[in-house]
A = this chain, B = another copy of it.
Amino acid sequence: SFANLRIHPHGLVLVDLQSYSDHTKGREEVDQLLNKVEERMKELFHDNIKRVKRLPAILRGGVIDRYWPTADGRLVEYDIDEVVYDEDSPFQNIKILHSKQFGNILILSGDVNLAESDLAYTQAIMGSGKEDYTGKEVLILGGGDGGILYEIVKLKPKMVTMVEISFASNIDQMVIDGCKKYMRKTCGDVLDNLKGECYQVLIDDCIPVLKSYAKEGRMFDYVINDLTAVPISTSPEEDSTWEFLRLILDLSMKVLKQDGKYFTQGNCINLTEALTLYEEQLSRLYCPVEFSKETVCVPSYMELY
Protein backbone atom coordinates (compact mmCIF):
# COMPACT_ATOMS: atom_id res chain seq x y z
CA SER A 1 0.00 0.00 0.00
CA PHE A 2 1.04 3.58 -0.65
CA ALA A 3 -0.41 6.64 0.99
CA ASN A 4 -0.22 10.27 -0.05
CA LEU A 5 -1.20 13.08 2.26
CA ARG A 6 -1.46 16.59 0.87
CA ILE A 7 -2.32 19.68 2.87
CA HIS A 8 -3.32 22.74 0.91
CA PRO A 9 -2.90 26.16 2.57
CA HIS A 10 -6.60 27.09 2.42
CA GLY A 11 -7.51 24.05 4.52
CA LEU A 12 -8.04 21.18 2.13
CA VAL A 13 -6.47 17.92 3.26
CA LEU A 14 -6.32 15.10 0.72
CA VAL A 15 -5.52 11.53 1.69
CA ASP A 16 -4.99 9.01 -1.09
CA LEU A 17 -4.45 5.38 -0.27
CA GLN A 18 -3.48 2.99 -3.01
CA SER A 19 -3.39 -0.68 -2.30
CA TYR A 20 -2.43 -3.63 -4.45
CA SER A 21 -4.64 -6.63 -3.96
CA ASP A 22 -6.35 -9.24 -6.07
CA HIS A 23 -9.06 -10.11 -3.59
CA THR A 24 -11.87 -8.10 -2.04
CA LYS A 25 -10.46 -8.62 1.44
CA GLY A 26 -7.97 -5.90 0.54
CA ARG A 27 -10.88 -3.51 0.16
CA GLU A 28 -12.08 -4.15 3.69
CA GLU A 29 -8.58 -3.67 5.11
CA VAL A 30 -8.31 -0.36 3.29
CA ASP A 31 -11.66 0.71 4.73
CA GLN A 32 -10.55 -0.12 8.26
CA LEU A 33 -7.30 1.74 7.78
CA LEU A 34 -9.15 4.80 6.51
CA ASN A 35 -11.51 4.64 9.48
CA LYS A 36 -8.51 4.88 11.77
CA VAL A 37 -6.98 7.73 9.76
CA GLU A 38 -10.26 9.65 9.86
CA GLU A 39 -10.64 9.11 13.60
CA ARG A 40 -7.10 10.22 14.32
CA MET A 41 -7.42 13.30 12.13
CA LYS A 42 -10.60 14.34 13.92
CA GLU A 43 -8.72 14.08 17.22
CA LEU A 44 -5.78 16.10 15.90
CA PHE A 45 -8.07 18.83 14.58
CA HIS A 46 -10.16 18.80 17.80
CA ASP A 47 -13.34 18.14 15.77
CA ASN A 48 -12.69 21.36 13.91
CA ILE A 49 -13.30 19.73 10.54
CA LYS A 50 -16.07 21.25 8.42
CA ARG A 51 -16.56 18.48 5.92
CA VAL A 52 -15.31 14.92 5.49
CA LYS A 53 -15.85 13.01 2.28
CA ARG A 54 -14.63 9.53 1.51
CA LEU A 55 -15.11 8.14 -1.97
CA PRO A 56 -15.63 4.45 -2.68
CA ALA A 57 -12.40 2.71 -3.72
CA ILE A 58 -11.60 2.79 -7.42
CA LEU A 59 -10.59 -0.61 -8.78
CA ARG A 60 -8.06 -0.49 -11.60
CA GLY A 61 -6.25 -3.09 -13.65
CA GLY A 62 -8.60 -5.97 -12.91
CA VAL A 63 -10.14 -8.34 -15.44
CA ILE A 64 -13.46 -6.59 -14.95
CA ASP A 65 -13.67 -2.89 -15.73
CA ARG A 66 -16.55 -1.29 -13.85
CA TYR A 67 -16.10 2.31 -15.10
CA TRP A 68 -17.98 3.37 -18.24
CA PRO A 69 -18.31 7.14 -18.28
CA THR A 70 -21.58 8.74 -19.44
CA ALA A 71 -21.92 10.53 -22.80
CA ASP A 72 -21.45 13.81 -20.95
CA GLY A 73 -18.17 12.59 -19.46
CA ARG A 74 -19.12 11.78 -15.89
CA LEU A 75 -17.43 8.98 -13.96
CA VAL A 76 -19.90 6.21 -13.11
CA GLU A 77 -19.23 2.78 -11.69
CA TYR A 78 -21.37 -0.14 -12.84
CA ASP A 79 -22.11 -3.28 -10.84
CA ILE A 80 -20.34 -5.41 -13.45
CA ASP A 81 -19.46 -8.89 -12.20
CA GLU A 82 -18.61 -10.81 -15.38
CA VAL A 83 -17.10 -10.35 -18.82
CA VAL A 84 -19.50 -12.31 -21.03
CA TYR A 85 -18.15 -11.45 -24.50
CA ASP A 86 -15.14 -9.39 -25.57
CA GLU A 87 -14.17 -9.32 -29.25
CA ASP A 88 -12.60 -6.91 -31.71
CA SER A 89 -14.37 -6.65 -35.07
CA PRO A 90 -12.80 -4.75 -37.98
CA PHE A 91 -14.91 -1.78 -36.90
CA GLN A 92 -14.83 -1.68 -33.13
CA ASN A 93 -14.43 -3.42 -29.79
CA ILE A 94 -17.55 -5.31 -28.77
CA LYS A 95 -18.10 -6.11 -25.12
CA ILE A 96 -21.04 -7.71 -23.39
CA LEU A 97 -20.67 -7.33 -19.62
CA HIS A 98 -22.97 -8.67 -16.96
CA SER A 99 -24.48 -6.26 -14.45
CA LYS A 100 -26.32 -7.60 -11.43
CA GLN A 101 -29.15 -5.11 -11.85
CA PHE A 102 -29.21 -4.37 -15.59
CA GLY A 103 -28.50 -7.87 -16.94
CA ASN A 104 -26.10 -8.11 -19.88
CA ILE A 105 -24.90 -4.77 -21.24
CA LEU A 106 -23.67 -4.25 -24.80
CA ILE A 107 -20.71 -1.85 -24.86
CA LEU A 108 -19.32 -0.76 -28.25
CA SER A 109 -15.86 0.82 -28.17
CA GLY A 110 -16.42 1.94 -24.61
CA ASP A 111 -19.94 3.36 -25.11
CA VAL A 112 -22.81 1.76 -23.24
CA ASN A 113 -25.20 0.80 -26.06
CA LEU A 114 -28.06 -1.17 -24.53
CA ALA A 115 -28.69 -3.46 -21.58
CA GLU A 116 -31.30 -6.16 -21.11
CA SER A 117 -33.02 -3.77 -18.67
CA ASP A 118 -33.46 -1.11 -21.35
CA LEU A 119 -36.84 -1.83 -22.91
CA ALA A 120 -37.51 1.89 -22.30
CA TYR A 121 -35.02 2.72 -25.07
CA THR A 122 -36.67 0.37 -27.56
CA GLN A 123 -40.16 1.57 -26.67
CA ALA A 124 -39.14 5.22 -27.10
CA ILE A 125 -37.52 4.71 -30.52
CA MET A 126 -40.72 2.90 -31.59
CA GLY A 127 -42.86 5.92 -30.69
CA SER A 128 -43.66 5.21 -27.03
CA GLY A 129 -46.63 2.94 -27.65
CA LYS A 130 -48.55 5.55 -29.66
CA GLU A 131 -48.03 3.90 -33.07
CA ASP A 132 -50.01 1.07 -34.64
CA TYR A 133 -47.56 -1.24 -36.42
CA THR A 134 -50.20 -3.81 -37.42
CA GLY A 135 -49.98 -4.51 -41.15
CA LYS A 136 -47.33 -1.82 -41.66
CA GLU A 137 -44.13 -1.76 -43.71
CA VAL A 138 -41.18 -0.96 -41.44
CA LEU A 139 -37.51 -0.33 -42.21
CA ILE A 140 -34.96 -0.57 -39.39
CA LEU A 141 -31.49 0.87 -40.01
CA GLY A 142 -28.95 -0.67 -37.65
CA GLY A 143 -30.50 -2.14 -34.53
CA GLY A 144 -28.00 -5.00 -34.40
CA ASP A 145 -28.97 -5.88 -30.84
CA GLY A 146 -32.34 -7.04 -32.21
CA GLY A 147 -34.40 -5.19 -29.60
CA ILE A 148 -36.49 -3.10 -32.00
CA LEU A 149 -37.02 -6.00 -34.41
CA TYR A 150 -38.14 -8.29 -31.56
CA GLU A 151 -40.64 -5.76 -30.21
CA ILE A 152 -42.13 -4.80 -33.61
CA VAL A 153 -42.51 -8.39 -34.80
CA LYS A 154 -44.78 -8.97 -31.77
CA LEU A 155 -47.13 -6.27 -33.14
CA LYS A 156 -47.97 -8.14 -36.40
CA PRO A 157 -46.49 -5.80 -39.00
CA LYS A 158 -46.82 -6.64 -42.72
CA MET A 159 -43.05 -6.73 -43.18
CA VAL A 160 -40.05 -5.46 -41.21
CA THR A 161 -36.78 -5.09 -43.08
CA MET A 162 -33.72 -4.57 -40.92
CA VAL A 163 -30.55 -3.46 -42.69
CA GLU A 164 -27.48 -4.17 -40.64
CA ILE A 165 -23.83 -3.23 -41.16
CA SER A 166 -23.10 0.19 -42.34
CA PHE A 167 -19.46 1.08 -42.64
CA ALA A 168 -20.10 4.46 -41.12
CA SER A 169 -22.14 3.07 -38.26
CA ASN A 170 -21.08 1.26 -35.17
CA ILE A 171 -22.98 -1.96 -35.77
CA ASP A 172 -21.70 -5.08 -37.46
CA GLN A 173 -22.16 -8.85 -37.85
CA MET A 174 -20.15 -9.57 -34.72
CA VAL A 175 -22.58 -7.43 -32.74
CA ILE A 176 -25.44 -9.59 -34.01
CA ASP A 177 -23.47 -12.73 -33.11
CA GLY A 178 -22.82 -11.54 -29.57
CA CYS A 179 -26.36 -10.27 -29.02
CA LYS A 180 -28.20 -13.31 -30.32
CA LYS A 181 -26.25 -15.38 -27.82
CA TYR A 182 -26.06 -13.11 -24.80
CA MET A 183 -28.82 -10.49 -25.08
CA ARG A 184 -31.79 -12.80 -25.49
CA LYS A 185 -33.93 -10.87 -23.04
CA THR A 186 -33.62 -8.00 -25.54
CA CYS A 187 -33.82 -9.81 -28.89
CA GLY A 188 -35.61 -13.08 -28.09
CA ASP A 189 -35.12 -15.46 -31.02
CA VAL A 190 -35.41 -12.97 -33.91
CA LEU A 191 -31.68 -12.98 -34.63
CA ASP A 192 -31.47 -16.81 -34.79
CA ASN A 193 -32.65 -16.67 -38.39
CA LEU A 194 -32.19 -13.82 -40.82
CA LYS A 195 -35.72 -14.40 -42.13
CA GLY A 196 -39.07 -14.88 -40.41
CA GLU A 197 -42.74 -14.79 -41.32
CA CYS A 198 -42.91 -11.00 -41.32
CA TYR A 199 -39.29 -9.89 -41.16
CA GLN A 200 -35.95 -10.10 -42.91
CA VAL A 201 -32.46 -9.03 -41.84
CA LEU A 202 -30.17 -7.84 -44.65
CA ILE A 203 -26.49 -7.90 -43.81
CA ASP A 204 -25.67 -5.03 -46.08
CA ASP A 205 -24.60 -1.40 -46.04
CA CYS A 206 -27.77 0.65 -45.60
CA ILE A 207 -26.74 3.47 -47.97
CA PRO A 208 -26.89 1.45 -51.26
CA VAL A 209 -29.97 -0.40 -49.97
CA LEU A 210 -31.76 2.90 -49.29
CA LYS A 211 -30.68 4.24 -52.69
CA SER A 212 -32.03 1.21 -54.52
CA TYR A 213 -35.32 1.31 -52.55
CA ALA A 214 -35.67 4.98 -53.47
CA LYS A 215 -34.98 4.21 -57.13
CA GLU A 216 -37.49 1.37 -57.36
CA GLY A 217 -40.10 3.38 -55.42
CA ARG A 218 -40.35 1.03 -52.44
CA MET A 219 -42.08 2.92 -49.64
CA PHE A 220 -42.36 2.41 -45.87
CA ASP A 221 -44.76 3.50 -43.15
CA TYR A 222 -41.95 3.73 -40.62
CA VAL A 223 -38.19 4.15 -40.84
CA ILE A 224 -36.41 3.61 -37.53
CA ASN A 225 -32.79 4.72 -37.48
CA ASP A 226 -30.86 3.05 -34.68
CA LEU A 227 -27.45 3.40 -36.35
CA THR A 228 -25.67 6.02 -34.28
CA ALA A 229 -26.40 8.56 -31.60
CA VAL A 230 -26.25 12.26 -32.47
CA PRO A 231 -22.51 12.94 -32.79
CA ILE A 232 -21.09 14.69 -29.76
CA SER A 233 -18.83 16.79 -31.97
CA THR A 234 -20.16 20.28 -32.49
CA SER A 235 -18.20 20.90 -35.70
CA PRO A 236 -20.52 19.42 -38.36
CA GLU A 237 -18.30 20.84 -41.08
CA GLU A 238 -15.33 18.77 -39.95
CA ASP A 239 -17.00 15.63 -38.66
CA SER A 240 -18.07 13.22 -41.40
CA THR A 241 -20.57 11.59 -39.02
CA TRP A 242 -22.79 14.64 -39.48
CA GLU A 243 -22.60 14.29 -43.26
CA PHE A 244 -23.49 10.59 -42.96
CA LEU A 245 -26.37 11.53 -40.71
CA ARG A 246 -27.80 14.02 -43.23
CA LEU A 247 -27.39 11.52 -46.07
CA ILE A 248 -29.31 8.85 -44.15
CA LEU A 249 -32.01 11.38 -43.28
CA ASP A 250 -32.44 12.50 -46.90
CA LEU A 251 -32.52 8.95 -48.23
CA SER A 252 -34.97 7.91 -45.51
CA MET A 253 -37.37 10.72 -46.42
CA LYS A 254 -37.33 9.40 -50.00
CA VAL A 255 -38.56 5.94 -48.98
CA LEU A 256 -41.12 7.23 -46.46
CA LYS A 257 -44.82 7.40 -47.36
CA GLN A 258 -46.46 10.85 -47.27
CA ASP A 259 -47.86 10.23 -43.76
CA GLY A 260 -44.94 8.06 -42.69
CA LYS A 261 -42.82 8.56 -39.59
CA TYR A 262 -39.09 8.47 -38.97
CA PHE A 263 -37.82 7.64 -35.48
CA THR A 264 -34.27 7.98 -34.23
CA GLN A 265 -32.30 8.35 -31.03
CA GLY A 266 -30.77 11.65 -29.94
CA ASN A 267 -28.16 11.68 -27.23
CA CYS A 268 -27.69 12.50 -23.55
CA ILE A 269 -29.98 15.41 -22.60
CA ASN A 270 -26.98 17.38 -21.33
CA LEU A 271 -25.36 17.58 -24.77
CA THR A 272 -27.57 20.51 -25.67
CA GLU A 273 -25.29 21.94 -28.37
CA ALA A 274 -25.06 18.69 -30.30
CA LEU A 275 -28.81 18.14 -30.04
CA THR A 276 -29.53 21.66 -31.28
CA LEU A 277 -27.18 21.09 -34.22
CA TYR A 278 -29.10 17.94 -35.07
CA GLU A 279 -32.35 19.89 -35.12
CA GLU A 280 -30.73 22.37 -37.48
CA GLN A 281 -29.93 19.53 -39.89
CA LEU A 282 -33.65 18.78 -40.05
CA SER A 283 -34.31 22.13 -41.67
CA ARG A 284 -31.67 21.40 -44.30
CA LEU A 285 -33.29 18.26 -45.76
CA TYR A 286 -34.49 18.22 -49.38
CA CYS A 287 -38.12 18.21 -48.17
CA PRO A 288 -39.78 20.05 -45.26
CA VAL A 289 -40.32 17.94 -42.15
CA GLU A 290 -42.01 18.35 -38.80
CA PHE A 291 -40.48 16.85 -35.69
CA SER A 292 -41.03 16.31 -31.99
CA LYS A 293 -38.74 14.94 -29.29
CA GLU A 294 -39.06 13.04 -26.07
CA THR A 295 -36.77 12.51 -23.07
CA VAL A 296 -36.61 9.06 -21.50
CA CYS A 297 -34.76 7.40 -18.68
CA VAL A 298 -32.89 4.35 -20.00
CA PRO A 299 -31.84 2.42 -16.86
CA SER A 300 -28.29 1.44 -17.84
CA TYR A 301 -27.37 4.86 -19.28
CA MET A 302 -27.35 6.63 -15.89
CA GLU A 303 -28.33 9.83 -17.68
CA LEU A 304 -31.52 11.09 -19.30
CA TYR A 305 -31.55 10.50 -23.03
Contact = CB atoms under 8 A, between A and B. Distances in A.
A139 B255 CA distance: 56
A129 interface: no
Given A101-B269, A117-B304, A14 B60 contact: yes
Contacts of A75: 55-56, 58, 75-77
Interface in A63-78: 65-67, 69, 72-78
Given A4-B4, A100-B270, A74 B65 contact: no
A304 B101 CA distance: 7
A73 B61 contact: no
B56 A55 contact: no
A2 B77 CA distance: 25
A49 interface: no
A89 interface: no
Contacts of A20: 8
A53 B60 contact: yes
A303 interface: yes
A255 to B, nearest CB: 35
A134 interface: no
Q: How many copies does the complex hold?
A: 2
A76 B76 contact: yes
Interface residues of A, number: 40
Contacts of A72: 79
Contacts of A268: 101
Contacts of A269: 101
A141 B304 CA distance: 30
A20 to B, nearest CB: 6
Given A56-B74, A67-B55, A72-B79, A12 B100 contact: no
B67 A78 contact: no
A304 B102 CA distance: 8
Contact of A74 (B6, B12, B79): B79
A240 interface: no
Nearest to A67: B55
Contacts of A60: 12, 14, 53
A302 B304 CA distance: 10
A103 to B, nearest CB: 10
A18 interface: yes
Given A61-B8, A101-B304, A303-B101, A77 B76 contact: yes
A160 to B, nearest CB: 27
A101 B74 CA distance: 13
A61 B300 CA distance: 29
Q: Which 3 A-B pairs have the closest CB atoms?
A: A12-B61, A74-B77, A56-B75
